[in-house]
Amino acid sequence: MAGLRAIVPLLCLLLPQPARAGGSAAGLEEEDGVLVLRAASFEQALAAHRYLLVEFYAPWCGHCKALAPEYAKAAAKLKAEGSEIRLAKVDATEESELAQQFGVRGYPTIKFFRNGDKAAPKEYTAGREADDIVSWLKKRTGPAATTLTDAAAAETLVDSSEVVVIGFFKDLTSEPAKEFLLAAEAVDDIPFGISSSADVFTKYQLSKDGVVLFKKFDEGRNNFEGDLTKDNLLNFIKSNALPLVIEFTEQTAPKIFGGEIKTHILLFLPKSVSDYQEKLDNFKSAAGSFKGKILFIFIDSDHSDNQRILEFFGLKKEECPAVRLITLEEEMTKYKPESDDLTADKIKEFCNKFLEGKIKPHLMSQDLPEDWDKQPVKVLVGKNFEEVAFDENKNVFVEFYAPWCGHCKQLAPIWDKLGETYRDHENVVIAKMDSTANEVEAVKIHSFPTLKFFPAGSGRNVIDYNGERTLEGFKKFLESGGQDGAAADDDLEDLETDEETDLEEGDDDEQKIQKDEL
């Protein structure tokens, strides 16, 4: 679900500057063990290295800065193992022709090149921690599951990553073993091993065929039970590969949003409070009852990087600790507990009521300003939206915006002029609504700015605008009754989306056309 890959905006992490560049055996520039490539050296790198993972980055990109230490750590790990896989990076703002050649539309974009083939590099799709990168690369360059010939090999694999899956089969050609290998091929970011060795069976206390997920958190291991099929194994892994409670960070975001569990409950908890551990323990205690159904996430509400997430849920730092639940299906829906009690029993009760369909969605709204209708552009909030937008006697043109959105800032003076143009019109209303702080059931906003027209009449019709964002374009649209510039069903939006925009302050001219595809 690409549209949900970081649906909660992330701020940049300010990381230390990289070590000074050096050189590689092939004479290529290096920085922290990562090859630094330019247009002039790209072909040389492809020729010198059979397997090459290349990150296209922007120096100002927050997600790129957060990835940098993990990327370097992955490079060091592979080098220590004597791997022929190399990691490289390209400053796409400097090497724009390379970026264009490989279809770079956002930062970071990571592509895997095999045997120097530039025609169809593989897009990197896994997590952004070193172990994720290494596991994904090993899956792309070796067998789906490593054959473990003895207990020492098994122990080395188990120690190598946060999560490891091992299949124990006395006959490696059996149907269950084949199903296991199919599951291994389907999972990018977890290393798999397979063994028929009696020593390995004995070391891990198995007397018959089975599958075990080893992890460096919670229970430590989970034994698969049931009919051993690919789908059942994938469900087993999905339910057990993440911690019962996972902290939201730049590195864990891909695992959180890229996972199969699309219902998330979030605990906004400042790490500075005296009862931090007690509240986190209560949250974890509740989580066990909803394994595989609801993902439990906690967010340090004191951390500056997380302030946008609080805004997204309409929370202020002083209101934390607090709990919210969100479903990340086709339409995002938020839910708020009736009680502020954060005991395990209350959290369980809230989750159970949600699963039973007994909780109504929570729609945010700011208070209605006293002067909301005094300016040419009327101010809408959740509380007055229905009354204004669906007024049967008015044609209402609304901009749904985000205060931090660069495109919205560019549009603002044009929208103000449009308001002035129709200030005294008898039935045209120009309005705007901050969609980061206000939500309405009738309209779901996925990108900023979104422009919608609510024509007069009793039909509650809504027309999307997809024409030119100019004063003349807007006037033609309104004078045509919402026809000239209306979006067709198959129109592709070129908008700055809340889940894809890199949020670091920087060069507006450059950033306004770039999307960070987390």
| Residues designated catalytic | 61, 64, 405, 408
In eight-state DSSP terms, residue 36 is: E
CB 87 within 8 A of CB 37: no
Pick from 104, 110, 13, 19: nearest CA to 65? 13
φ, ψ (nearest 5 deg) of residue 109:
-110, 130
* Cα–Cα distance measured from residue 250 to residue 270, given in angstroms and rounded to the nearest whole number: 17
Q: How far is CA 416 from the centre of its chain?
A: 34
280 Cβ contact list (under 8 Å, min separation 6):
245, 267, 269, 298
In the chain, the amino acid numbered 458 is: S
Q: Are strands 245-247 and 295-299 parallel, antiparallel or unpaired?
A: parallel
424 Cβ contact list (under 8 Å, min separation 6):
none
φ, ψ (nearest 5 deg) of residue 76:
-65, -40
Q: Which two tokens stand for residue 497?
A: 């989306």
The number of residues making up the chain comes to 518
* Cα–Cα distance measured from residue 443 to residue 457, given in angstroms and rounded to the nearest whole number: 18
For 328-354, b where at least 16 C-beta lie within 10 A, e where not — what string? beeebbbbbbeeeebebebbbbbbeeb
Q: Is the peptide bond before 108 cis (omega within 30 degrees of 0)?
A: yes
CB 405 within 8 A of CB 496: yes
Maximum Cα interatomic distance, the chain, rounded to a whole number of Å: 86
